[in-house]
Amino acid sequence: MRPLIELKDVTNRFGRQVVHNRINFTLYEHEAIGLVGGSGSGKTVLLRTIVGLNKPKEGCVLVDGADLYSLTVEQRLEWQKRLGVMFQNGALFSALTVLDNVALPLREHTQLSKKTIKDLAYIKLQMVRLQADAASKYPSALSGGMTTRAGVARAMALDPEILFLDEPTGGLDPIAATSLDELMRDLHKVLRLTIFIITHDPSTLVTVCDRIAMIIDGKIESGTLDELLKSTNPKVQEYFKGERVQAVLAKRH
Amino acid sequence: MNDRPRFVEIKHDKDKDVVVLEGDWTIHNAAPIEKEIEHAIQEINGHPYEVVGDKIGKLDTSGAFLLKKLTAREKVPPHLADTQRTVLDFLPAYAEYTPPPKKTPPIAVASFSLVGEKTVRALDFGWDIFAFIGRIAVCFVSNLLHPRHFRLPSIARHIQETGISALPIVGLLSVLMAMVVTYQGANQLRRFGADIYTVDLTVISLLREMSVLVTAIMVAGRSGSAFAAEIGVMNLRDEISALKTMGMDPIEVLVLPRVIALLITLPLLTFLADIIGLFGGGLMSLSLLNLTFDQYFNRVGDVATPTMFFIGMIKAPVFALIIAIIGCYQGLNVSGSAESVGRRTTLAVVQAIFIVIMADGLFSIAFSKADI
- pLDDT over 80 (residue B330): yes
Which is nearest to A60 in space by CA: A100, A20, A87? A20
Give chain A's mean pLDDT.
88
The more confident residue out of B16 and B136 is B136
Q: Does residue B71 share a domain with residue B142?
A: no
Per-residue pLDDT, averaged over B173-178, amounts to: 94
Predicted local confidence at residue A253, as pLDDT: 59
Q: Is residue B358 part of a domain?
A: yes
How large a percentage of chain B has pLDDT more than 70? 98
Residue B157, chain A, CB below 8 Å: the answer is no
Q: Does residue B138 share a domain with residue B86?
A: no
Q: Is residue B355 part of a domain?
A: yes
* Residue B342 CB neighbours (<10 A): 15
Beta strands A211-216 and A32-36, pairing class: parallel
- Taking contacts as CB-CB distances below 8 angstroms, the residues of chain B near A93 are 338
Per-residue pLDDT, averaged over A150-154, amounts to: 92
- Taking contacts as CB-CB distances below 8 angstroms, the residues of chain B near A115 are 96
| pLDDT tens string B33-60 | 888 888 888 887 777 788 888 888 888 8
Q: Is residue B211 part of a domain?
A: yes
Site from B27, B39, B87, B90 to mutate, A interface, most A CB atoms within 10 angstroms: B27
- pLDDT over 70 (residue B333): yes
- pLDDT over 80 (residue B130): yes
Q: Does residue B359 share a domain with residue B282?
A: yes
Q: How far does B93 lie from chain A, in Å, by closest CA? A: 8
Partner residue facing A159 (CB), from B27, B96, B339: B27
Give chain B's mean pLDDT.
89
List strands edge to edge, sheet with A66-67: A17-28, A3-14, A58-63, A66-67
Q: Does residue B148 share a domain with residue B276?
A: yes
Which is nearest to A248 in space by CA: A39, A85, A34, A32? A34
DSSP sequence for B229-270: HHHHHHHHTTHHHHHHHTT--HIIIIIHHHHHHHHHHHHHHH
| pLDDT tens string A37-78 | 888 888 889 999 998 888 888 889 998 888 988 888 888 888
Q: Is residue B69 part of a domain?
A: yes
- pLDDT over 90 (residue B149): no
Q: Is residue B104 part of a domain?
A: no
Q: Is residue B109 part of a domain?
A: no
The alpha helices in B163-255, defined as continuous H runs, are: 167-190, 197-205, 211-219, 225-236, 239-245, 250
- Taking contacts as CB-CB distances below 8 angstroms, the residues of chain B near A163 are none
- Taking contacts as CB-CB distances below 8 angstroms, the residues of chain B near A110 are 27, 30-31
The string over B121-158, giving b where at least 16 C-beta atoms fall within 10 Å of a residue's C-beta and e elsewhere, is: eeeeeeeeeeebeebbeebbeebeeeeeeebeebbeeb
- pLDDT over 90 (residue A250): no
Predicted local confidence at residue B371, as pLDDT: 81
- pLDDT over 80 (residue A171): no
Query: CA–CA separation, B296 vs B47, rounded Å?
Result: 98
- pLDDT over 90 (residue A179): no
Write the Ramachandran bin of A112: left for phi over 0, alpha for psi from -120 to 50, otherwise beta.
beta
The DSSP H or E segment spanning A11 is strand A3-14
B61, A111: Cβ pair inside 8 Å? no
Residue B365, chain A, CB below 8 Å: the answer is no
The DSSP H or E segment spanning B368 is helix B338-369
Q: Does residue B365 share a domain with residue B274?
A: yes
Per-window interface: B 59-88 vs A, CB < 8 A: 60-62, 65-66, 68-69, 86-87
The more confident residue out of B282 and A250 is B282
Site from A88, A97, A120, A131 to mutate, B interface, most B CB atoms within 10 angstroms: A120
pLDDT band at B1 (very low <50, low <70, confident <90, very high): very low
Which is nearest to B261 in space by CA: B161, B372, B370, B116? B161
Partner residue facing A112 (CB), from B34, B336, B337: B34
Among A142-146, B56-60, B305-309, which range has the highest average pLDDT? Answer: B305-309
Partner residue facing B87 (CB), from A111, A123, A191: A191
Q: Does residue B339 share a domain with residue B240?
A: yes
| pLDDT tens string A218-237 | 888 888 888 888 888 888 88
Per-residue pLDDT, averaged over A152-176, amounts to: 88
Query: CA–CA separation, A118 vs A115, rounded Å?
Result: 5
Chain A residue at shortest CA distance from B335: A140
In degrees and rounded to multiples of 5, residue A111 shows phi and psi of -105, 25
Which is nearest to A122 in space by CA: B96, B102, B34? B96
The DSSP H or E segment spanning B357 is helix B338-369
In degrees and rounded to multiples of 5, residue B105 shows phi and psi of -70, 160
pLDDT band at B25 (very low <50, low <70, confident <90, very high): confident
Question: Which of B41, B75, B90 lies at the terminal end of a domain, its last residue?
Answer: B90
> Are the C-beta atoms of A38 and A199 separated by less than 8 Å?
no
Query: CA–CA separation, B244 vs B51, rounded Å?
Result: 63
A159, B65: Cβ pair inside 8 Å? no
Per-residue pLDDT, averaged over B247-267, amounts to: 94
Q: Is residue B282 part of a domain?
A: yes
- pLDDT over 70 (residue B3): no
- Specify the number of domains making up chain B: 2
B34, A113: Cβ pair inside 8 Å? yes
Picking from A77-81, A91-95, A138-142, B12-16, which range would have the lowest pLDDT averaged per residue? B12-16
Q: Does residue B200 share a domain with residue B68?
A: no
Q: Is residue B110 part of a domain?
A: no
ipTM: 0.82
Class of residue A61 by CB neighbours under 10 A (exposed 0-12, middle 13-18, buried 19+): buried
Class of residue A77 by CB neighbours under 10 A (exposed 0-12, middle 13-18, buried 19+): exposed
Predicted local confidence at residue B162, as pLDDT: 95
The partner residues of A26 in beta bridges, in order of sequence, read A6
- pLDDT over 80 (residue A203): yes
pLDDT band at B5 (very low <50, low <70, confident <90, very high): low
A contact set with B (CB within 8 A): 93-95, 99, 110-113, 115-116, 118-124, 126-127, 133, 135-136, 138-140, 156, 158-159, 186, 190-191
Q: Does residue B198 share a domain with residue B246?
A: yes
**Residue B132 domain boundaries:** 122-369
CATH number at residue B47: 3.30.750.24
Picking from B18-27, B118-127, B316-325, B342-351, which range would have the lowest pLDDT averaged per residue? B18-27
Q: Does residue B84 share a domain with residue B128?
A: no
Residue B287, chain A, CB below 8 Å: the answer is no
The string over B77-86, giving b where at least 16 C-beta atoms fall within 10 Å of a residue's C-beta and e elsewhere, is: ebebeeebbb
Q: Does residue B57 share a domain with residue B165?
A: no
- pLDDT over 70 (residue A195): yes
The more confident residue out of B93 and B239 is B239
Q: Does residue B127 share a domain with residue B79?
A: no
- Taking contacts as CB-CB distances below 8 angstroms, the residues of chain A near B94 are 119, 123
Q: Does residue B20 share a domain with residue B142?
A: no
pLDDT band at B77 (very low <50, low <70, confident <90, very high): confident
Picking from B168-172, B280-284, B368-372, which range would have the lowest pLDDT averaged per residue? B368-372
Helix axes A174-189, A144-155, angle to 10 degrees: 10
